[in-house]
């Protein structure tokens, strides 16, 4: 597998006045800087999926995503780098001109197939997947990766994220943004007993992830459930892909001060939440590690 182009992610210290006042040391793990294109957590979720496809000699990967999906973007480039044909099943109709994610996917050789929202809901249904295999049978056997790379292979890859931090035991809490919670679950499996991980769901009503994450963890290891993680569900800013002017201003200001680009969908919401919680006294006198999971910025998002 093509790994040589990856850099070890740097740790960046953030001297934020609110953190300094609360005696909190803030560090960001810049997974967004590991590779110019496969940035963030999506690489870790792809790694064992691509290895399994290669081991079973399957040369075509199929996966699912929305038109702005970071996972579609990462799969397209990872496929190309590993000589795998890629197919993206895209939710909704084709809109021309294509946005930069889909343009990029095509430039990497990904074949895009658009399906309506109702059909897209069938994406995890085995019969629907068999139907896709049949329709695309001229491409040979196809390896299917679920939306977001969120399967057990994806989870396994995420257990490796924190091993990239040489002094990880210095951190008492680790924070990250959650979509499906797979990345959080993988990281929770790799913590020591004195550490906790705090997830910030970016979807409205993110409490449902408590059940999902417990489920993911129990599928992976049947031993007793981990109690080292928790969710903070009130920094969704109206829901997935929704933004407010306040969030935009926060991200822009953060970039100006610390040169860390935050996307409005994931990392911006997490960072806003962390600073707000420090201000409220939730974190004090400790060393926090914040995971920059990557993500791209788009203009023209829906203001809430």
Ligand X SMILES: *Cc1c(COP(=O)(O)O)cnc(C)c1O
DSSP labels, 99-132: PHHHHHHHHTTPEEEEE-HHHHTTTT-HHHHHHH
In the complex, the smallest distance separating the C-beta of residue 65 from ligand X, rounded to whole angstroms, is 10
Neighbours of 124 (CB within 10 A): 12
According to the binding rule CB under 6 A, does residue 151 interact with ligand X?
no
The yes or no reply on residue 183 touching ligand X (CB under 6 A) is yes
- Closest contact distance (angstroms) between CB of 57 and ligand X is 28
With CB under 6 A as the contact rule, the residue among 24, 26, 30, 40 that binds ligand X is 40
Judged by CB under 6 A, the residue of 79, 157, 181, 273 near ligand X is 181
Among 16, 41, 53, 231, binds ligand X (CB under 6 A): 41
Nearer to ligand X, 22 or 288 (CB): 288
With CB under 6 A as the contact rule, which of the stretches 10-18, 127-135, 177-185, 219-227 interacts with ligand X? 177-185
Residue closer to ligand X by CB (options 22, 73) is 73
244/137 Cα distance (integer angstroms): 45
Structure letter (DSSP) for residue 199 = E
Q: How far is the CB of 139 from ligand X (least distance, A)?
A: 26
Q: How many residues does the chain have?
A: 304
Q: Per rule CB under 6 A, is residue 182 in the interface with ligand X?
A: yes
List Cβ neighbours of 205 (8 Å cut-off, separation of 6 or more). Answer: 233
Note whether 157 binds ligand X by CB under 6 A: no
Of 84, 40, 83, 81, give the one whose Cα is nearest residue 60.
84
Q: How many residues bind ligand X (CB under 6 A)?
A: 19
| Structural contact between residues 295 and 267, judged by C-beta atoms closer than 8 angstroms | yes
Name the one residue in this structure whose structure tokens are 């084709």: 94
DSSP string, 50-72: HHHHHHTT--EEEEEE-TT-HHH
User: Which range, of 2-10, 109-117, 175-183, 226-234, touches ligand X by CB under 6 A?
Assistant: 175-183
Residue 209 CB, nearest approach to ligand X (Å): 8
- Under a CB-based contact definition with an 8 Å cutoff, are residues 85 and 60 in contact? yes
Binding positions for ligand X, rule: CB under 6 A = 40-42, 70, 148, 150, 177-183, 263, 266-267, 293-295
């Amino acid at each position: 597998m093509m790994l040589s182009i990856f850099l070890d992610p740097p740790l960046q210290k953030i001297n934020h006045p609110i953190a300094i006042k609360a005696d909190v040391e803030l560090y960001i793990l810049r997974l967004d800087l590991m590779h110019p294109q496969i940035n963030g957590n999506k690489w870790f979720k792809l790694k064992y999926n691509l290895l399994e496809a290669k081991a079973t000699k399957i040369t075509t990967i199929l996966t699912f995503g929305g038109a702005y999906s970071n996972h579609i973007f990462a799969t397209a480039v990872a496929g190309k780098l590993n000589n795998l044909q890629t197919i993206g099943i895209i939710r909704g109709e084709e809109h021309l001109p294509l946005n930069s994610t889909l343009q990029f996917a095509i430039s990497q050789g990904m074949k895009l197939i658009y399906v309506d929202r109702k059909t897209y809901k069938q994406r995890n249904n085995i019969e629907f997947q068999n139907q896709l295999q049949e329709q695309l049978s001229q491409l040979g056997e196809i390896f299917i990766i679920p939306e977001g790379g969120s399967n057990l292979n994806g989870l396994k890859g995420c257990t490796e994220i924190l091993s990239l931090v040489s002094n990880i035991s210095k951190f008492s809490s680790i924070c990250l943004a959650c979509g499906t919670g797979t990345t959080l679950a993988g990281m929770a499996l790799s913590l020591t007993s004195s550490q906790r991980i705090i997830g910030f769901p970016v979807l409205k009503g993110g409490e449902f992830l408590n059940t999902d994450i417990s489920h993911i963890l129990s599928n992976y290891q049947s031993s007793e459930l981990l109690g080292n993680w928790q969710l903070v569900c009130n920094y969704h800013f109206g829901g997935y892909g929704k933004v407010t002017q306040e969030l935009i201003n926060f991200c822009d200001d953060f970039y100006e001060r610390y040169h860390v680009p935050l996307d409005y969908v994931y990392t911006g919401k997490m960072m806003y939440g962390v600073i707000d919680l420090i201000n409220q006294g939730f974190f004090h006198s400790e060393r926090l590690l914040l995971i920059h999971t990557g993500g791209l910025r788009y203009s023209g998002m829906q203001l809430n």
